[in-house]
Amino acid sequence: MQNYKRQEELARQYFKEDDKCRDLVRGQKWKEAEESCKVIVLIADQLSDDRSLERMGAYELFDHVLRGQKRYEEALEYYNCALDAARSRLTEKNAELGRLYGDMAITHHLVRDLGKARELYKEAEKIYQLAHASIGDGDSDEWVVGTKQEYIRVLPNERTHNLAADFQVLALKAWPVTRRLVVTGPPPRPTHVPAARYLKARTLRRKE
């Protein structure tokens, strides 16, 4: 019971700080966001093993802040931590994993590691395609339509970035794409763990 209460309090702190960090990222207040997002990482590292997606989200958000400050090498370290957390829960049919590979590809692209960037772009595209093909079982029609539209929107971006890396590797033309790769807004939360659903699940489990 004591451990449960501690985990419940950590979850409350996590989502409260997560909202704060995302607001700072939207305002591109990178230094303040770094302090806030670092707190989220510290909290996430204390969550129970079954909260691996929260850890992934914390690392991914901190990556985003580092990349916003052009600290790409540091960002890649945290992307790898996010990937380690994601692999325990996500498969190649989960779009969240595709998004993570896409963000890693962009960061490698920005440091001119074009071979690795191309590899990761292709992996991201493959996962989005598998995710698009697999959704629908047990989900509402409205959710299915909206999710498929989102995947269709994202796929051309991955292909464009991959093509840009191909052109740069082959030195066929200068493609001023890297500035367009950096997204200033925060990455979305993993759809498997919205704050309200997580807290509700914890409350129901406690009643049982």
Convert the pLDDT of each residue in 36-79 to its tens digit. 999 999 999 999 998 999 999 999 999 999 999 999 999 999 99
Confidence at 93, pLDDT banded by 50, 70, 90? confident
Q: Which domain holds residue 167?
A: 2-202
Q: Which residues contact 107 (CB under 8 A, 6 or more apart)?
A: 63, 67, 72, 75, 76, 79
Q: Is the pLDDT of residue 155 over 90?
A: no
Considering the chain, what is the average pLDDT of its residues? 75
Give the Cα separation of 27 and 133 in Å (integer). 36
Q: Is residue 116 part of a domain?
A: yes
Specify the range with the lowest mean pLDDT, choosing from 54-68, 82-96, 185-199: 185-199
Q: Is the pLDDT of residue 208 over 90?
A: no
What pLDDT does 72 receive? 93
User: CATH no. for residue 22?
Assistant: 1.25.40.10
Q: Is the pLDDT of residue 145 over 90?
A: no
Q: Which residues contact 166 (CB under 8 A, 6 or more apart)?
A: 118
Specify the range with the lowest mean pLDDT, choosing from 10-14, 22-26, 101-105, 183-187: 183-187
pLDDT above 70 covers a percentage of the chain that reads 64
Q: Is residue 10 part of a domain?
A: yes
pTM recorded for the entire structure: 0.71
Q: Is residue 29 part of a domain?
A: yes
Say if residues 151 and 95 touch (Cβ distance below 8 Å).
Answer: yes
Tokens 């779009």 correspond to 95
Q: Is residue 173 part of a domain?
A: yes
Q: Is the pLDDT of residue 194 over 70?
A: no
Q: Is the pLDDT of residue 157 over 50?
A: yes
What pLDDT does 160 receive? 52
Q: Is residue 207 part of a domain?
A: no
Say if residues 187 and 103 touch (Cβ distance below 8 Å).
Answer: yes
Number of domains present in the structure of the chain: 1
